[in-house]
Structure 1
């Protein structure tokens, strides 16, 4: 499996650790940067590049997933999710790592480099990378709705049926 990885300065050390460990376990690692530590670097371009790499690989029939890292993983997840067709999930424990793949067919995991020790982050990555999508009808249906909204700005028969209302406390 090919794994695209990207970070910013806050996740650089963890990124290097994950690349070494995952390479040793047979994963083909594609590093989208940064190359060196720069406390003023910006994560969006690195993370978007990794997500685009995953999207391109998968469009070409390759088995490919991604990992994006930063201080919290939040901004990095948002950057990866900006790539049309990519679902990135913030992973913070074994359950979220597993369910991101099993239920949501996430292609990219985001993790906070300042939130996890290296060995814990590796275990989360291994869980995410190993877990297959279940293919259950309800999950397929929900993912299709996300894709439909991404393409059209609507979910036919669903979005227009939602009526927002103020909470009354009752």
Structure 2
């Protein structure tokens, strides 16, 4: 499996550690930077490239995932999610890393380099990379709703249960005078 990495200055130490760990565990690594410490660098520069790499390779049917790293992981996740075909999830525990794959078929993991120890974050990445997407119908359906929204901008229809007892939007604007 190929793993695309991108970070900013706050994630550089973890990224460098992960490169070695991934190679030791027989992953092919694509490092999108940064390559030197620069406290003023911008995470979108590197995280968008990592996410683009994952999306392009998956579109070709290749086995690849990504990891983006920053101080908190929040901005990096947002950046990765701007790339069509990417579902990036922020992990702060082993469980969230597993659920990102099992429930969301996330293809990019985001972690906060200032939030956890190197050992914890390495474990989040390990769990993410080794967890398959089981393809349960409910998760496929939900991912499909998101993909359709991305493509068309149309909201998924409300279920009948949500419509029972709901006040129509135009009626809520009327007042008794």
Q: Same fold (TM over 0.5)?
A: yes
The CA distance in 2 between the partners of 1:98 and 1:124, in whole Å, is 8
* Corresponding residue of 2:175: none
The CA distance in 2 between the partners of 1:97 and 1:66, in whole Å, is 13
Measured after TM superposition, the shift of residue 156 of structure 1 is 4.3
Measured after TM superposition, the shift of residue 155 of structure 1 is 3.1
The CA distance in 2 between the partners of 1:135 and 1:156, in whole Å, is 20
How does 1:4-153 map onto structure 2 within 5 Å? 4-153=4-153
Q: Say which SS state the counterpart of residue 89 (structure 1) adopts.
A: strand
The CA distance in 1 between the partners of 2:30 and 2:56, in whole Å, is 13
TM-score normalised to structure 2 length: 0.89
Q: Say which SS state the counterpart of residue 17 (structure 1) adopts.
A: helix
Larger Rg: 2
The CA distance in 2 between the partners of 1:16 and 1:94, in whole Å, is 21
The CA distance in 2 between the partners of 1:103 and 1:12, in whole Å, is 29
The CA distance in 2 between the partners of 1:10 and 1:118, in whole Å, is 13
Q: Say which SS state the counterpart of residue 33 (structure 1) adopts.
A: coil
Measured after TM superposition, the shift of residue 45 of structure 1 is 1.6
In structure 1, list runs of 5 or more residues that go unmatched: none
The CA distance in 1 between the partners of 2:76 and 2:156, in whole Å, is 30
Q: CA RMSD in A?
A: 1.9
Q: Say which SS state the counterpart of residue 109 (structure 2) adopts.
A: strand
In structure 2, list runs of 5 or more residues that go unmatched: 173-177
Measured after TM superposition, the shift of residue 57 of structure 1 is 0.7
Aligned residues: 165
TM-score normalised to structure 1 length: 0.92
The CA distance in 1 between the partners of 2:156 and 2:4, in whole Å, is 34
The CA distance in 2 between the partners of 1:148 and 1:74, in whole Å, is 24
The CA distance in 1 between the partners of 2:66 and 2:81, in whole Å, is 12
